[in-house]
Amino acid sequence: MKIFPNPEFVKNAYFKSFSEYKELYNYSMNHFEEFWANQAQENLTFFEDFTQVLDEKYFPKLEWFKGWKVNICYEAVDKNLKKNADKIALIFEWERWDSQKITYKELAENVGKSANLLKSLWIVKWSRVIFYMPQILESVYLMLACLRLWAIHSIVFWGFSAESLKDRIEDLKADFLITADWAFRKWKPYLLKNIADEALEKSSHEVKKVLLVKRNFEEINISKNDVIYNDLIKSQSEICDFEKLDSEDTSFILYTSGSTGKPKWIIHSTAGYALWAKLTTKWVFDLQENDIFFSTADIWWITGHTYTVYWPLLNGWTTLIYEWNPLFPKEDRIWEIIEKYKVSKFYTAPTLIRLLHKTGENLPKNFDLSSLKVLWSVWEPIDSETWDWYFETVGNKKASIADTYWQTETGGHIIAPFPFAIPMKKRSAGFPLPGICWEIVDKNWKKLWVEENWFFVISKPWPAMARWIWWDDEKFVKTYFSDIFREKKPLYFSGDGWFYDEDWYIFITGRVDDIVNISGHKIWIAEVEDIVDKDENIAECALVWIPDELTWEALFGFVVLKDKKNISNKDLLQKLNISLRKEIWPIVSLKNILITSELPKTRSGKIVRRVLRNLAKWKEIEGDLSTVENKEILWIIKEKIKNFN
Ligand code: WTA
């Protein structure tokens, strides 16, 4: 079913209709290089012109916009000074109520000083700088300062243990570490510096210096290798020249989130990454002059890089960054912030929407949320119960819901809806963005047509795609490029399953393992989860496939109950199967379920299905668990499964 967007917002939209979008899409496919050259020239400043749009000689290492000189920090900061000097660039909000607002002028001053400070420590071209920083303004200043000097930042989540931080320092052979004395969550300080010290002590690799941002809360250990940001910053000049980088110079290195296997360091380029961040903003987020953008993504995640920090600033927007737990100190904190700042565009993940729904179904009604125009989502398919609540209760049926699909490796959205131009369809992530040449193929890489469900591949490069995995070319090729060749080039394989319907709307079925084959019928697990989620007893569920003698594969469910209900696995299973048979198909049923108090999740809230798949098959808990927040639950589930009958 199609739901039409609010006509009030359509008149200023970038794409006002499907045909406008389709025209640009077709142009990008038929005049590939011309399209990219035009977009680049229109959107970024180049200090030296490019001589070639795309050089594929060393495929899969690509050179986009050869000869071009650019700087992301210049684009995000200096360029905004002409028109936007007094406009608010950053809003910082945290549990302690005393929020801060920073204009573009103040941002430029802070970034200039921070860059000079880094220079004074010999953080220069190609220095690799690990950030172990909370979500605070200084993190943003220092990220931009690194880009100004062409030092390469790698942000590590502040919640990671000393062991995980140590691994990353060693892996990257980091030159510098930037940390703070503490991070703050639920009114509790986390002593980051102490954890960083432990990591450095264990590490076989030594960093040259540790830059410490002091928030002055508790006394901490200062060692001779530490320098204190707050002391040094005072004497720095606000003026700092920026490096003119080649298009292909590395902008940053980031670990993948690890929900799909061992994390890998992904390398992103400069011009291609910045261009795509800017374009996706225009097309998908539909930038308007006075929009206030609030993304709940932390800076250590790719969504935090691209859409909390770089993209809003590249476009002269106002972006809200926060340091708090979304339900603390009150369960309506998010709605309060949206009302307080008149947020117009809100970006989050289904896991948080589900949590907000579960903990306070009617809380949004207590606030004036009429500033909201679009509610975005990313990271997982958004189930229909959550979609309905997001649309009806949060958006008051006026704001559009827009699900976006992308990966750390794609640099920015690749499939997304255009929220004002095109009617919404529940569960669809929308359309391929201009320049994304996609296909759906089967296991033999044969091209498939409408409504068939299989692998999603991209057959032409785009500028923001990851350039390589840190020191592992072979892994890069093996992980992302299929062994089928088109025009002598392999296809980029996202690892996700897809189908599209007769109106060209794309539906993501999840990682390819998220399709179950029951008696020859390929069933999209997310669709079954959608029905299970609707059951009145269930707060959350994750289904995985297990082998079955009769049907080849079958479904196993891990479920979390809404309240401490007294219902047995067996009774709940029976009840769920009745609804599944009725709502999907007689063939679809769950073979078994396990009631658990919680599901294993990554720090950004994504369910770690890879481990659940193994547990359901009675296998050992293995693989990299560094990104799993609540690891203990894995052993509890394992024990329960052992005693299962
Ligand atoms: C999944 C996050 C369904 C997908 C930006 C992808 C999604 C992985 C969606 C990348 C969506 C992302 N619907 N699944 N809208 N968006 N995914 O690298 O499996 O942290 O491959 O990047 O998340 O996760 P990553």
Q: Looking at residues 405-431, what average pLDDT do you find?
A: 91
- Ligand 1, residues 296, 308, 508, 512: which to mutate, most atoms within 8 A of Cβ? 508
Q: Does residue 222 or residue 179 have the better pLDDT?
A: 179
**How many angstroms is it from 455 CA to the middle of ligand 1?**
14
pLDDT at 618: 85
Q: What is the pTM of this model?
A: 0.84
pLDDT at 121: 97
**What would the pLDDT profile of 138-196 be if each residue is shown by its tens digit?**
999 999 999 999 999 999 988 877 888 998 899 999 999 999 999 988 888 889 999 99
**Of 106-110, 600-604, 613-617, the least confident:** 600-604
Q: Does residue 73 or residue 58 have the better pLDDT?
A: 73
CA-closest residue to ligand 1 atom 2 = 407
CA-closest residue to ligand 1 atom 21 = 407
As a whole number of angstroms, the distance between CA 637 and CA 558 comes to: 9
- Ligand 1, residues 262, 382, 401, 405: which to mutate, most atoms within 8 A of Cβ? 405
Indicate the pLDDT class of residue 471, thresholds 50, 70 and 90: confident
- Whether the per-residue pLDDT at 451 is higher than 60: the answer is no
Q: Looking at residues 353-359, what average pLDDT do you find?
A: 88
CA-closest residue to ligand 1 atom 22 = 407
As a whole number of angstroms, the distance between CA 431 and CA 486 comes to: 23
- Whether the per-residue pLDDT at 260 is higher than 50: the answer is no
φ, ψ of residue 511 in degrees (nearest 5)? -55, 155
Residue 331 token pair: 């369960």
pLDDT at 259: 44
Output the average pLDDT for the chain: 89
Pocket lining: 269 vs ligand 1, CB cutoff 6 Å: no
pLDDT at 174: 97
Pocket lining: 627 vs ligand 1, CB cutoff 6 Å: no
CA-closest residue to ligand 1 atom 23 = 379
- Whether the per-residue pLDDT at 594 is higher than 80: the answer is yes
**Of 109-113, 177-181, 191-195, 355-359, the least confident:** 355-359
Pocket lining: 378 vs ligand 1, CB cutoff 6 Å: yes
Instruction: Answer for the pair 221, 193: CB distance below 8 angstroms, yes or no.
Output: yes
Pocket lining: 408 vs ligand 1, CB cutoff 6 Å: yes
Pocket lining: 500 vs ligand 1, CB cutoff 6 Å: no
Q: Looking at residues 19-29, what average pLDDT do you find?
A: 95
- Ligand 1, residues 266, 407, 627: which to mutate, most atoms within 8 A of Cβ? 407
pLDDT at 522: 62
Q: Looking at residues 213-236, what average pLDDT do you find?
A: 90
- Whether the per-residue pLDDT at 94 is higher than 60: the answer is yes
Pocket lining: 496 vs ligand 1, CB cutoff 6 Å: yes
**How many angstroms is it from 511 CA to the middle of ligand 1?**
9
**What would the pLDDT profile of 425-438 be if each residue is shown by its tens digit?**
988 999 999 999 98
Pocket lining: 513 vs ligand 1, CB cutoff 6 Å: no
**How many angstroms is it from 606 CA to the middle of ligand 1?**
10
State the number of CA atoms in the 13 A half-sphere of 4 facing the CB: 6
Report the first-to-last Cα separation within the chain, whole angstroms: 42
Indicate the pLDDT class of residue 201, thresholds 50, 70 and 90: very high
**What would the pLDDT profile of 532-579 be if each residue is shown by its tens digit?**
988 989 989 999 988 887 777 889 999 999 876 778 888 999 999 998
% pLDDT > 90, the chain: 56
Cα–Cα distances (Å) from 519 to 509, 522, 531, 532, 586, in that order, read: 19, 8, 20, 21, 12
**How many angstroms is it from 153 CA to the middle of ligand 1?**
23
Whose CA is closest to 434, among 22, 11, 17? 22
**What would the pLDDT profile of 293-325 be if each residue is shown by its tens digit?**
999 998 988 999 999 999 899 999 999 999 878
CA-closest residue to ligand 1 atom 25 = 407
- Ligand 1, residues 351, 377, 380: which to mutate, most atoms within 8 A of Cβ? 380
State the closest ligand 1 atom to the C-alpha of 403, by its place in the atom list counted from 1: 15
- Whether the per-residue pLDDT at 581 is higher than 90: the answer is no
- Triad 459, 462, 465: Cα angle to 5°: 100
Place of tokens 């931080």: 165
Pocket lining: 407 vs ligand 1, CB cutoff 6 Å: yes
Indicate the pLDDT class of residue 59, thresholds 50, 70 and 90: confident
- Whether the per-residue pLDDT at 365 is higher than 90: the answer is yes
Instruction: Answer for the pair 547, 617: CB distance below 8 angstroms, yes or no.
Output: yes
Pocket lining: 257 vs ligand 1, CB cutoff 6 Å: yes
- Triad 455, 612, 641: Cα angle to 5°: 145
Pocket lining: 429 vs ligand 1, CB cutoff 6 Å: yes
CA-closest residue to ligand 1 atom 9 = 379
CA-closest residue to ligand 1 atom 16 = 379
Residue 322 buriedness (CB in 10 A; 0-12 / 13-18 / 19+): buried
Q: Which residues contact 224 (CB under 8 A, 6 or more apart)?
A: none
State the closest ligand 1 atom to the C-alpha of 429, by its place in the atom list counted from 1: 15
Pocket lining: 427 vs ligand 1, CB cutoff 6 Å: no
Q: Looking at residues 91-102, what average pLDDT do you find?
A: 89
Instruction: Answer for the pair 402, 476: CB distance below 8 angstroms, yes or no.
Output: no
Peptide bond into 417 cis (omega under 30): no
* Beta strand pairing call for 152-155 and 128-132: parallel
**How many angstroms is it from 407 CA to the middle of ligand 1?**
5
**How many angstroms is it from 259 CA to the middle of ligand 1?**
10
